[in-house]
Amino acid sequence: MKLSRRETLGLIGGAAALGLASPAIAQNRKTVVGAMNLTSHSGSFIALERGYFEKAGLDVELKFFQAAQPMAVAIASGDVDFGVTAMSGGLISLAQKGAVKVIGGALAEEPGIDGQKLLASDAAFQAGLTSAAGLDGKRFGVTTAGSSFHYMGSKIAAAEGGIPQFVPLQKVGAVIGALKSGQIDAWSIVPHIAKPLAASGAVHIIGNVSDFLPNYQVTTVFTSEKNASGDKGLTEAFLKGFSDGVADYDDTMVDRTNGDEAVDEMVKLIHNYVYADRPLEKAAPSIINGSMRLNRGAALNMASLGDQLAWFQAEGLVDSAITLDTIVDASFVETIDG
């Protein structure tokens, strides 16, 4: 079939009119959500698999990333609409440039719930690094400067009056390798990675992150500035679907109010995304071990975010003139601790 120029123009016009005619919150609106293969992203997995996103009018496609930083850049460039990751230095800089906005909270430390662990290599452990008190001058592994590991290491050591050396290794895999072979002395990581490592004997758990940083808001939900201020309908729809997923996760995996059968079912669901390369029987304990609180309703702990921002500024990693308002749009969700 060959279209004349006039027919082509007519078609283009028709298509444009069709686009204009559709309502602001269209059914099955195409939305790209950034995720990583970690249990802390279960809110998105569950919302997608159980149709909560669909119910909110979104046709969600998950896009996977190996690190938080590329995800933040992808949201700034508009390739991804929503993401869940730690408030890293890169995220703050992008927010300062008016590209991204934090709109909700996700993973959080909660006293009484098994959270992130402080690890020591076997060599360092044998040499006396058995608690956070010994961190001064030790080599602490981080992915990059300004990552959540950098924040945790610095805060934990400072609580005991120490200053470790931070060794950037870019990837979580590289940090694990360096810790196992004793090239670095200490690290902190989510429990589903920490516990199997400790079980192997090459690494020792020497503390809980929540003892030093109670209620630490580990990861946040964020989106582009354009979505946060210009497309509030889309943002609200996403948060609705995401919160439903989070509520299921907390009920089943953290508070265990739905019984063991529900746990098994949810582990199966999460296993599609986390440790998918291992058989379910092997992956299940790790996934269950990794159950940490995701904030209900994507609530934001502003006090923790304020503390994180203050640390970034004190370390000279971000501009000291940035205020929390520049980074966070707290109008979408409830806030905790002011």
Partner 1 sequence: MPETTLSSPSPASPSGAETRQEVRFRGGGFAPKSRRWVAFVVFAVIIAVAEWGTRTGWISALTLPRPSDVLQTLIDLYASGMLFKHLGLSLTRLVVGAALGASLGIAVGVTIGLFSYVRAGLVPLVAALFPIPKIALLPLFVIWFGIDEASKYALIAFGTFTPTVVATYGAVDNVDRSLIRMGQSFGLSWLSIVRKIVLPGAMPGILSGLRISLAIAIILLVAAEMLGAQYGIGAYILEAGSLYDLERLFAGVLILSLLGVLLSTTIGMIERRLLGWRS
In the block, tokens 């199966």 appear at: 268
Is 72 among the residues that bind partner 1 (CB under 8 A)? yes
Is 134 among the residues that bind partner 1 (CB under 8 A)? no
Is 200 among the residues that bind partner 1 (CB under 8 A)? no
CA–CA distances in Å: residue 205 to residues 198, 200, 201, 292? 6, 11, 10, 17
Could you say which of 62, 73, 127, 198 contacts partner 1 (CB under 8 A)?
73
Nearer to partner 1, 96 or 258 (CB): 96
CA dist., res. 295 & res. 313, Å (int): 26
Is 221 among the residues that bind partner 1 (CB under 8 A)? no
Residue range at the interface with partner 1 (CB under 8 A); choices 13-21, 177-185, 199-207, 226-234: 177-185
> Closest Cα to residue 227, out of 214, 238, 243?
238
Q: Are 102 and 84 spatial neighbours (Cβ–Cβ below 8 Å)?
A: no
Residue range at the interface with partner 1 (CB under 8 A); choices 128-136, 168-176, 212-220, 280-288: 168-176
Residues 3-16 as b or e (16 or more Cβ within 10 Å = b): eeeeeeeeeeeeee
Could you say which of 44, 85, 147, 308 contacts partner 1 (CB under 8 A)?
147
Could you say which of 26, 158, 205, 317 contacts partner 1 (CB under 8 A)?
317
Is 93 among the residues that bind partner 1 (CB under 8 A)? yes
Is 152 among the residues that bind partner 1 (CB under 8 A)? no
Consecutive H or E run containing 277: none
Nearer to partner 1, 40 or 144 (CB): 144
State the distance between the two ends of the chain, measured CA to CA, in whole angstroms.
63
In the chain, the amino acid numbered 31 is T
Q: Which residues have CB under 8 Å from 134's CB, separation 6+?
A: 128, 162
* Number of neighbours of residue 226 by Cβ within 10 angstroms: 16
Could you say which of 144, 188, 217, 291 contacts partner 1 (CB under 8 A)?
144
34: left (phi over 0), alpha (psi -120 to 50) or beta: beta
Nearer to partner 1, 174 or 336 (CB): 174
The partner residues of 63 in beta bridges, in order of sequence, read 34
Is 184 among the residues that bind partner 1 (CB under 8 A)? yes
Could you say which of 26, 110, 133, 177 contacts partner 1 (CB under 8 A)?
177
Contact footprint for partner 1 (CB under 8 A):
69, 72-73, 76, 88-91, 93-94, 97-99, 143-147, 165-170, 173-174, 177-178, 181, 183-184, 317-318
